[in-house]
């Protein structure tokens, strides 16, 4: 274990070691029941006297942060019931610099955390429960054999180049195929206008960081993707939630090619009247023949 110590400091070494370990425990870097190095080993690693480590451990024990097992060693105590946890501004550990406190506020994920809490507490005994919360497909239906064959084919073809960076905009043959599909639907585009992302969250991040400013209003469905809500909040946008059927008509106007151009244009005009824009995220519900490729 590496612990930074300042031998020129007026603070005793055992206190420096104790403070470092305390910070690691309260921050969760050292989990409950994790075994600390023996006093002999840590003293050797840090180049200090063994009594220095013993004193540091004794201080941690006095604060209820560690406990000892006779003949076994020193272990981290569970944080439950311990006062002065990380983030408690009344404790010495909570007196963080302003930039750290601001970072904690901006990186909170309340919507995602709430969803995860619901998933953890909802019928955990139901092994056959099917959750639609993450928008994930059934893993048992994934064509793993075909996927493995595709990976092996690419590795044989590209060898070491398969591990290098590709086109930043995405695999060109894929972008060409997508542009052809869009063209068949009346949307003219070139492969250079198409950007492949690793998923919806990355797409949301790119679009939101490009067009949103603090105080902008984002109109979303409710319920909707929690990752998007947390992203918009982190960018200090004002999220206005609407039940699905309140804006479904507008959505239908945009994604249904059978809706007359006049009505679709009116939806765009509506967005412009609000000094805003419409962002479409379309998920295919059936297999596209154009995607049947052996590339």
Higher pLDDT pick, 126 / 238: 238
Please state which of the four CATH numbers 1.10.10.10, 3.30.420.130, 3.30.310.50, 1.10.620.20 is assigned to the domain occupying 13-106. Answer: 1.10.10.10
Residue extents of the structural domains in the chain = 13-106
Output the pLDDT for position 293.
Answer: 38
Q: How confident is the model at residue 2 (pLDDT cuts 50, 70, 90)?
A: confident
Q: Please say whether the beta carbons of 21 and 60 come within 8 A.
A: yes
Listing DSSP states for 199-238 in one string gives SHHHHHHHHHHHH--TT-EEEEEES--HHHHHHHHHTT-E
Hey, what's the torsion of the CAs at 225, 119, 197, 146, to 10 degrees?
A: -130
Q: How confident is the model at residue 104 (pLDDT cuts 50, 70, 90)?
A: low
Angle at 39 between CA 87 and CA 18, to 5 degrees: 25
Q: How confident is the model at residue 63 (pLDDT cuts 50, 70, 90)?
A: confident
Which segment of 161-170, 239-248, 273-282 scores lowest on mean pLDDT?
Answer: 239-248
Tokens describing residue 79: 């944080």
Which segment of 172-176, 194-198, 276-280 scores lowest on mean pLDDT?
Answer: 276-280
Output the pLDDT for position 130.
Answer: 67
Q: Please say whether the beta carbons of 250 and 270 come within 8 A.
A: yes
Output the pLDDT for position 92.
Answer: 43
Which segment of 47-51, 53-57, 149-153, 236-240 scores lowest on mean pLDDT?
Answer: 236-240
Cα separation, 295 vs 286, whole angstroms: 20
Tokens describing residue 112: 């995602």
* Res. 263: pLDDT tops 50: yes
Cα separation, 211 vs 277, whole angstroms: 9
Which segment of 13-22, 27-36, 128-137, 208-217 scores lowest on mean pLDDT?
Answer: 128-137
Q: Please say whether the beta carbons of 61 and 67 come within 8 A.
A: yes
Number of H helices, E strands in the chain: 11, 4
* Res. 43: pLDDT tops 80: yes
Count of CB atoms situated within 10 Å of the CB of 76:
20
Output the pLDDT for position 262.
Answer: 67
Output the pLDDT for position 287.
Answer: 44
* Res. 132: pLDDT tops 80: no
């Amino acid at each position: 274990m590496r612990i930074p110590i300042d031998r020129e400091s007026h603070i005793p070494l055992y206190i420096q070691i104790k403070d470092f370990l305390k910070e690691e425990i309260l921050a969760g870097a050292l989990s409950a029941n994790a075994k600390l190095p023996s006093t002999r080993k840590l003293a050797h690693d840090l180049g200090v006297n063994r009594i220095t480590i013993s004193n540091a451990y004794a201080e941690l024990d006095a604060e209820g942060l560690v406990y000892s097992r006779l003949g076994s060693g020193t272990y981290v105590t569970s944080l439950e019931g311990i006062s002065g946890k990380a983030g408690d501004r009344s404790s010495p550990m909570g007196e963080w610099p302003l930039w750290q406190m601001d970072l904690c506020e901006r990186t909170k994920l309340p919507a995602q955390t709430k969803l995860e809490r619901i998933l953890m507490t909802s019928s955990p005994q139901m092994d056959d429960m099917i959750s639609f919360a993450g928008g994930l497909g059934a893993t048992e239906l994934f064509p793993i054999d075909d996927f493995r064959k595709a990976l092996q084919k690419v590795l044989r073809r590209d060898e070491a180049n398969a591990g290098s960076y590709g086109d930043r905009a995405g695999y060109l043959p894929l972008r060409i195929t997508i542009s052809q599909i869009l063209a068949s639907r009346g949307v003219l585009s070139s492969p250079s206008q198409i950007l492949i992302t690793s998923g919806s969250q990355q797409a949301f991040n790119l679009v939101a960081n490009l067009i949103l400013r603090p105080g902008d209003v984002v109109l979303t469905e409710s319920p909707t993707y929690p990752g998007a809500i947390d992203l918009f909040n982190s960018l200090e946008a004002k999220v206005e939630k609407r039940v699905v059927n309140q804006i479904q008509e507008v959505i239908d106007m945009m994604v249904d090619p059978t809706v007359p151009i006049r009505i679709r244009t009116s939806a765009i005009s509506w967005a412009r009247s609000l000094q805003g824009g419409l962002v479409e995220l379309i998920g295919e519900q059936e297999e596209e023949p154009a995607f049947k490729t052996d590339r």
